[in-house]
Structure 1
């Protein structure tokens, strides 16, 4: 008997809260140290170094995940968050507005505060992040258009684990990378995280398709989009899980050298 086809990220069966809490925000997740813990340390080092700086940042991460912007909020006073489905938008705003049923991000806020030497300041850190969020916008994957708030030119674009989920082929990676960094100023930085050689991820009882890419292709795509890669780190897989099948995680910091107008 043939297995059921894998589901798509934009479909109605994806429960975003379950995705976030089973992959990113819960300290009990078996692979949390490689998927979130190691990137948090790299992000702390980047943003405390003074290399990546400015006033405005755009976060374009899967499910509107929050962990990439905790350290960034020390540097950027205006943060825009771009979501890609209505359910992602609702889920993110539930946390932002402190509504009932919001995801608990205290694992991340406490870890960031440990890195900063202020273990007791995690609640203040979460308030710092909330205050820094200038706008929450919706991006239509099918048309490439942005609804609601107009996004200004920013000094940094942050992207965590998004492209494996929203892209259906390698051409989508190239196209969406150019579009989503079109808001980035020349000279600004892309902070980019992606899973390598991944084919699926599981949320609850459902299995979702992920676009499989390798390190060589990702780095070539970033370079072709007008960037110079200044830092790269491969985070190796240490835990096997039936929740996801990536082999390694790739962390890149790249400076925008030129603007590509023909998207």
Structure 2
């Protein structure tokens, strides 16, 4: 699609706090909880609980300053490296990491995680473990071959990505190229845990209408296989939400490993 009419997330940015309040808060008017909170937390908790995905280094590449999906991962990886495309998102996340006044409250997401995991006694420890596990917060640029130039990333055992490719890719070829960059960041046998929104063309934050690449489950699966991944699991959740804020039809989760 022609994305010229909508803003590009990694070029134009958005109000990161407003994004969290609209799509990831516990406010009564926040209608996206099934897709944006429960779907990733539930799938990642169950995926990691199987005990097949673990290691030294996990890299997270996700939209905005979200981190709720990483609660499950910090139990299975010693080092989490979070990459963000926006300075505003880095500043927002640093507020939470440094427990500063005014930081976004992720307590509802922590509660969801321990409820799904069945370990309610660990509620207080979860955020402390997360803060300890996130050892690097780095700006990235997917227009470059080395996305954190002039630094270098160590090869990862796992990459988690939530809706990041959806918003930085201008077309399907761009999506395939960036999946290839994900592959090159992983050890052989490393895992990619990918979430996205399907049949979507835009999302809105305040007055900003931002581009989303339209694709379906079949395209996402073929893009991963074409870049050397083996699909281990694929789940789709249809959305029942109708909102002018975003025109998405559902969410997809794909777990894959690099051949």
Task: Decide: shared fold, TM above 0.5.
Answer: yes
Matches within 5 A, 1:1-263: 5-12=5-12, 14-26=14-26, 28=28, 29-144=30-145, 145-147=147-149, 150-257=152-259
More helix by share: 2
* Offset, 1:86: 1.4
- Residue 149 of structure 1, CA deviation: 5.7
Offset at 1:100? 2.5
SS of match in other structure, 1:233: strand
Q: Residues 79 and 147 from structure 1, CA distance in 2 versus in 1: closer, same or farther, beyond 3 angstroms?
A: same
Query: 1:11 deviation in Å?
Result: 4.4
Q: CA deviation at 1:202?
A: 1.0
TM-score for both structures, normalised by structure 2: 0.92
Contact 2:24/2:32, CA 8 A, preserved across alignment: no
Give me the whole-angstrom Cα distance separating, in 1, the residues matched to 2:32 and 2:88: 25
The CA RMSD over aligned residues, in Å, is 1.8
Equivalent position SS for 1:212: coil
**What is the CA deviation profile of residues 214-254 of structure 1, one whole-angstrom value per residue up to 9, with x for unaligned ones?**
11111110111110001010011121122211111110000
**Does the CA-based 8 Å contact 1:61-1:160 persist in structure 2?**
yes
The runs of 5 or more residues in structure 1 that have no matched partner are 258-263
Residues 1:152 and 1:110: Cα distance change in structure 2 (over 3 Å) = same
1:65 is paired with a residue whose SS is coil
**8 A Cα contact 1:34 1:238, kept in partner:** no
Give the TM-score normalised by the residue count of structure 1.
Answer: 0.91
Give distance in 1, aligned partners of 2:199 and 2:36: 14
Could you tell me how far apart the structure 1 residues matched to 2:198 and 2:92 are?
26
Query: In 1, distance between residues paired with 2:124 and 2:18?
Result: 23
Give secondary structure in 1 for the equivalent of 2:242: coil
| Offset at residue 68 of structure 1 (A) | 1.8
Aligned length: 254
Q: 1:150 to 1:13 in 2, by over 3 A?
A: closer
Partners of 1:146 and 1:168 in 2: CA distance: 20
